[in-house]
Amino acid sequence: MSQDVQAILKNLGIENKNYGAFDGEWFGSGETISVTSPIDGKVIAEVVQATEADYERVLEKSQAAFQDWRMMPAPQRGEIIRQFGMEFRRHKDDLGALVTLEMGKILEEGKGEVQEMIDIFDFAVGLSRQLYGKTMHSERPLHRMYEQWHPLGVVGIISAFNFPVAVWSWNSAIAAVCGNTMIWKPSLKTPLTAIACQKIAHRVLQENNLPSAIMGMILGPDAQIGEKLIADPRIPLISATGSTRMGKRVAAVVGARLGKSLLELGGNNAIIVSDKADLDMSIRAILFGAVGTAGQRCTSTRRVIAHESVYETLKARLVETYAQVKIGNPLEAGTLMGPLIDKDAVDNMQSSIAKVAEQGGKVICGGEPLSGEEYPGGNYVRPCIAEVENHYNVVQEETFAPILYLMKYSSLEEAMGYHNNVPQGLSSAIFTKDMQEAENFLSHRGSDCGIANVNIGTSGAEIGGAFGGEKDTGGGREAGSDAWQAYMRRQTNTINWSPELPLAQGITFG
């Protein structure tokens, strides 16, 4: 391990052996796992996982912390969140590098993810003074009616490997400013960034004489810790980010106990390229959307639906552009695409590419695994472009890898049919200079996704808007706008300040 990497780990408090449970203290009594980097396959550090008994300890501390945290005025909670943002600013470079080292996205994206976390903390500070209710007119004389919002309790946060710090912050910043405490279950593929975040948050809470269990963590196997978390009636809300398969399991278990679930699941995102599009702009957006994070974003561009008059030109230019993508160590300057997260991801990509040919499609460039001295021990692949038809089973699925499916259309109605005819509904885009086409895409008969863009790609959403999607994407909303309401319970209040007791609807009783 290089001196630079050792310095980064030291700065963030990552030791050779770390513990996966946190309630103000670090502990764990489960099996030890080795955390390897997808860059070169080398071990970064070890983590001792938590057990079900460890879970109980974390939950009890989090419940106790909630009793006082909920009663702190929201603007004061916002001040604590402001300090989180300042502390994460001080560690942006180191934490961004750890994201890259552990997950494999290029350094520019790693730092960008940390900036996204800082941005959501800033957003939550302002939100702390905007948890608005409404006042309504009562039909009864001398009565006042209004609604207010209360914190839920302990919120469970399940995050995926591809955004190992941002997804936690989207949830934790908003949940905390709303008065909740939380237990975070990060991915076993990226535990070190989670531990680093917890240590940074712990310092802020400690400096303010607040219980660190406000931000608890439990790291362990899905079959034990994950199942216990989602089935626990003491956890009123589970916010889970991951695959559709995982989301359906969470929804079923949480729904069976009438809990709340906030789900951010798979995407099968498309860009429509009109004959009235700026092709230069379209290609730049497609490249970042399909190749950025090695295709491992839920908002990655999976499909391009191009007008038949520009299809061949667009295809040729994309193939030419893909040939120039520098693949390699994501910590090095100039690299545009790093490795996939693990060998399973590489195998899944190869399986999907094989299905393209079986189902009648054609791979026109890339797709092969990369090895040799230039890619020692890592999970590197060449990004792939394939010509397909939208109805192929492989196109209907989400493969978490840099595979881009190309298809052509003749009318906007046909394009929208292809666009919406997939199970997922997260992010979408159209490139056109035609106002009617753009407005059609954004209308009731247009994109059925939670995010719809014009002349912007599918990837890289801002935190100010609510983030999430429809259909198999789960229907949840995180981050900005009024997404905070998911982390609170609504209460309607009526106050009678008259000497009488009139009933609603004019009912006379007795």
CB neighbour class for 233 (10 Å; exposed up to 12, middle 13-18, buried from 19): exposed
Q: What is the CA radius of gyration of the chain?
A: 24
Taking CA atoms, 328 is separated from 127, 291, 294, 335, 369, in Å, by 41, 13, 11, 6, 12
Residue type, 376: P
What gap in Å lies between CA 273 and CA 282, rounded to an integer? 7
> Which segments within 414-461 are labelled E, that is strand?
424-425, 427-431, 451-454
Residue partners of 73: CB distance under 8 A and separation at least 6: none
What does the chain come to in residues?
510
* d(C-alpha 70, C-alpha 87), whole Å: 23
**409 in Cβ contact with 308 (< 8 Å):** yes
- Is 264 one of the catalytic residues? yes
CA-to-CA separations, 285 to 248, 273, 454, 468, in angstroms, rounded? 31, 11, 11, 20
List 116, 264, 437, 478, catalytic entry? 264
Active-site pick, 178, 298, 384, 449: 298
233 backbone φψ class: left, alpha, beta (φ>0; ψ -120 to 50) = alpha
Closest to 399 (Cα-Cα) out of 387, 384, 409: 384
Six token digits for residue 479:
């981050």
DSSP at 174: H
449 is catalytic: no
Alpha helices in 257-341 (DSSP H): 279-291, 311-322
Residues labelled as active-site residues: 264, 298
